[in-house]
């Protein structure tokens, strides 16, 4: 009897974990666009007030995950990698263009460019956060239901 309960509990937990892992790309996408928007806002503030050298500014900002790797590649003069499976081709090109414009023009031109990207990045940040919440919950519930269905089949 106890063995059945343990197997059932482990089956449900495993299937729920698989659902949570399946939603990982949506969480990574949310994190990527949140950090991209934060970089844009910090860079605009930097251009308007402090104007520190670009490498010093980027090293002072803390980024993680795939976006952090892209910033590190940019700092080490390697091309930033945006071939991530959760980004569309249009999003890759947009983020690539943002990185290619960092420190490339005068202050007025950069303020105009990155100020124009503000609305687009905010929209992507909000939509990816909404999608991550919806899909994350959906996949977790589907995993739970799959685990319960598996338990019903084996009991």
Per-residue pLDDT tens for 62-89?
888 888 888 888 888 777 677 788 888 8
Chain centroid to CA 62? 14
Query: What integer pLDDT is reported at residue 30 of this predicted model?
Result: 92
| pTM strictly above 0.75 | yes
Q: Quote the pLDDT of residue 68.
A: 86
Which residue ranges in the chain fall short of pLDDT 70?
80
Q: According to the model, what pLDDT value does residue 122 have?
A: 92
CA gap 23, 149 in Å, rounded:
20
Smallest Cα–Cα separation from 132: which of 37, 33, 25, 15? 25
């Amino acid at each position: 009897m106890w063995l059945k309960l343990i197997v059932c509990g482990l089956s449900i937990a495993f299937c729920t974990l698989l659902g949570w892992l399946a939603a990982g790309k949506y969480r990574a996408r949310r994190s990527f666009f949140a950090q991209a928007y934060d970089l844009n806002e910090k860079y605009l503030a930097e251009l308007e007030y402090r104007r520190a050298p670009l490498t010093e500014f980027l090293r002072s900002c803390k980024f993680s995950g795939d976006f952090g790797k892209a910033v590190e590649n940019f700092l080490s003069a390697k091309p930033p990698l945006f071939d991530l499976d959760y980004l569309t081709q249009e999003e890759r090109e947009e983020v690539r263009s943002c990185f290619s414009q960092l420190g490339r023009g005068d202050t007025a031109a950069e303020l105009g460019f990155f100020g124009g990207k503000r609305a687009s990045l905010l929209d992507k940040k909000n939509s990816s956060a909404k999608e991550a919440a919806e899909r994350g919950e959906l996949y977790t519930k589907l995993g739970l239901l799959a685990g319960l269905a598996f338990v019903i089949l084996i009991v």
